Amino acid sequence: MIENVVFIISDDLKASVLGSYGDEICHTPNIDRLAQEGVVFDRVYCQGTSCGPSRQSFMHSRYQGATKVNLGKHFIDNGVFSARVGKIYHMKVPGDIIAGTDGLDVESTWNERYNSPGLEAHTPGDYACLNLNIFTTGLAGRYSTGMPHRWFVTVSYDGDGSDQPDYKTASKTIEVIRQHRDEPFFIATGFVRPHYPMVAPRRYFDMYPIEDITLPYVPDDDHDDIPPLGFPKVVSTKDPIGKYPDNQKRMWAGYYATVTYMDEQVGRILDELDRQGLRDNTAVVFTSDHGYHLGEHHFWQKSNLHEEALRVPLIISSPGVKAGRSSAIAELMDIYPTLSELAGFEAPESVQGMSLVPVLHDNSVHVREAALTIDRSGYALRSDRWSYIRYNDDTEELYDMQSDPSQLTNLAINPEREDELKTWRSKLDSRLNGAGITRKLKKG
């Protein structure tokens, strides 16, 4: 059994951008180091498609709603010190970060909690609002809290990064580890990068010249077979970002830069656990709340039911568990019961997730057939081979992820696939019924 947990959550991090998940450009040596020490889960999916519902879901291990015994409180109830550093439950980024406020934090989860404020888009340096093709060093008129276009903001500046929220979060996590190293602890560390605004010291941006970046391939007819409810709020064909291919590459560069900066903070925490001799009794979990679109399908951001928005990294390094890799389908909700079992606690009856401990000990084991994701527009089921989406107006998408991993051909519009569609409709209805979820319908 483990004595301690360090639960690290990145913000808006798609799995595919990490070196340990196959990206050949992004530098993530510390997360990759953790991947070499732990079990990498290749097929993990969020249950909510934006920060708030996803984080509530995995902290309570519920598809919807909250319970009295969240993950941190469960550890407290079993005699373990629990602390939050940074963003775990939903915080508005940049709003709550600039203000240093708690957002939607749940106080019962923690014995101690700490926020990590920062200037965000107001950081002095080279500011860009890439969809409007604005580049300036001036501080006036920058798009920030609650403003349109803020999701296309980057700031590159001269500095060592110690003024940024994620550096402060890593530093405070290290301090809490030192203070509580002699008692069992559960520390949840929430980084805000690569969530917009993508702010980092210049040296991280310099690692990613746009000449080295290739934009995602999008066929001319890609949107023809996607139902209206399948589109996110920001699409290149309607937003000014579509006019500026080089700025789309700069978005990738900003994303990469802030991922690498965040990765460095992960490394600082791992190094401290090693210095304190705690790795032999501490489970380290790394994940994100949901994925992100950076121009795939001409889509940007999150809050839709396609692969890049749903798939997240999950790496679990735990004493007594050999390093490995698993293709098992998993949900973010499964982290709660997994950590409970690793710590020797019985998970509460309210938990809807499934423990991944069998997978940790035998990477060939599968504990579920498909992962369920809930969005305001509808629902998705992702199995080993298939991705099925059913919207609230009963329009559908179906993709064979083996032959079409980029989801370019919607098989739901093919009459020859009707039998498969009937099967997936039944599976989705069964999952929703089993989870106590009433499917929303929107006719006409």
CB 309 within 8 A of CB 51: no
Identify residue 233 by its one-letter amino acid code: K
Residue 11 located in a structural domain: yes
Question: What's the rounded mean pLDDT across residues 117-133?
Answer: 98
440 — pLDDT class (breaks 50, 70, 90):
confident
Residues 365 and 138: their CA atoms lie apart, in Å, by 55
Residues 334 and 353: their CA atoms lie apart, in Å, by 4
- Structural domain harbouring 224: 4-117+162-360
What's 108's DSSP letter? G
Residue 291 located in a structural domain: yes
Residue 24 sits in a domain of what CATH number?
A: 3.40.720.10
Residues 85 and 406: their CA atoms lie apart, in Å, by 36
Residue 16 located in a structural domain: yes
CB 112 within 8 A of CB 176: yes
Residue 384 located in a structural domain: no
Q: What is the pLDDT of residues 101-121, one digit of tens each?
A: 999 999 999 999 999 999 999
pLDDT of 137 strictly over 70: yes
Question: What's the rounded mean pLDDT across residues 137-144?
Answer: 98
Residue 399 located in a structural domain: no
H helix or E strand, kind and range, residue 316: strand 311-317
Q: What is the pLDDT of residues 56-108, one digit of tens each?
A: 999 999 999 999 999 999 999 999 999 999 999 999 999 999 999 999 999 99
273 — pLDDT class (breaks 50, 70, 90):
very high
**How many distinct structural domains can be found in the chain?**
1
The pLDDT > 90 percentage for the chain reads 99
Residues 407 and 319: their CA atoms lie apart, in Å, by 38
Residue 393 located in a structural domain: no
Residue 204 located in a structural domain: yes
Question: What's the rounded mean pLDDT across residues 336-358?
Answer: 98
H helix or E strand, kind and range, residue 56: helix 51-60
Q: Phi/psi of residue 338, each to 5°?
A: -65, -50
Strands 293-294 and 299-301: antiparallel
Residue 139 located in a structural domain: no
Question: What's the rounded mean pLDDT across residues 325-344?
Answer: 98
Residues 148 and 362: their CA atoms lie apart, in Å, by 47
H helix or E strand, kind and range, residue 380: strand 378-383
Give the Cβ contact number of residue 300 at 10 Å. Answer: 23
pLDDT of 306 strictly over 50: yes
Q: What is the pLDDT of residues 239-248, one digit of tens each?
A: 999 999 999 9
- The pTM of this model reads 0.98
Q: In sequence order, which residues have a C-beta less than 8 Å from that of residue 369 and are 6 or more positions away?
A: 329, 383, 427
